[in-house]
Amino acid sequence: MKIGPKYKIARRLGAPVFEKTQTQKYALSLARKERSDHKGRRKPKSEFGQELLEKQKARFSYGVSEKQFRNYVTKALHSPNPVQKLFGILESRLDNVIYRSGLAKTRAQARQAANHGHIMINNARVTIPSILLSKGDIVSLRSSSVASPLFGEVTERMKTIAMPVWLKVDLENRQVTVLGQPVYVERENIFDLGVVIEFYNR
């Protein structure tokens, strides 16, 4: 998915939706923007505008297209708990698991790794970054890709990254196992999926 100028999009959304905007420099820039908006007495967003903003923050965070995101929401709306279902779908994507585990620095790099066939699921090579993983699935690097410069810092990154409780990392083999389903906790995210569901329920 072609996204566009990431810093500009992140500033418009008022949230560090891309990994490259999750820096102290960006945080200071965003704080200056907020002070400027406050001084200018910017008109508050309408309810619809706020819901749209939350939807865009979630969509850009995971790097999915509008059509794909809408399909995920439609599927989630058929669940007893749409918010949890939507979060589970987004977090269980292969590219997100590659990123969360430290096999890639960013979700964009994770998508590239999957697209180029560097990734294995249960010892089978895959090329689709949007595959949804389930409990017991094992994600690893293709043996011929381990020496690639793209994965030169994987082991060190996997040692230091804050690993979600639903993933288990095997440093020696550079692989990650899905232990269960991710659980949505609003305060741990920069977007509110409850508001997103309300947006699509209009």
The 10s digit of each residue's pLDDT in 170-188 is 999 999 999 999 999 999 9
pLDDT at 201: 87
pLDDT at 2: 46
Domain ranges in the chain are 90-178
> Per-residue confidence of the chain (202 residues) as pLDDT tens digits?
545 555 566 565 666 666 555 555 555 555 555 555 555 555 557 888 888 999 999 999 999 999 999 999 999 999 999 999 999 999 999 999 999 999 999 999 999 999 999 999 999 999 999 999 999 999 999 999 988 888 888 989 999 999 999 999 999 999 999 999 999 999 999 899 999 999 998 7
pLDDT at 32: 59
pLDDT at 132: 98
pLDDT at 41: 55
CA dihedral 166, 85, 1, 8 (to 10 degrees): -90
* CATH for 90-178 (3.10.290.10, 3.30.465.10, 3.30.565.10, 3.30.420.40): 3.10.290.10
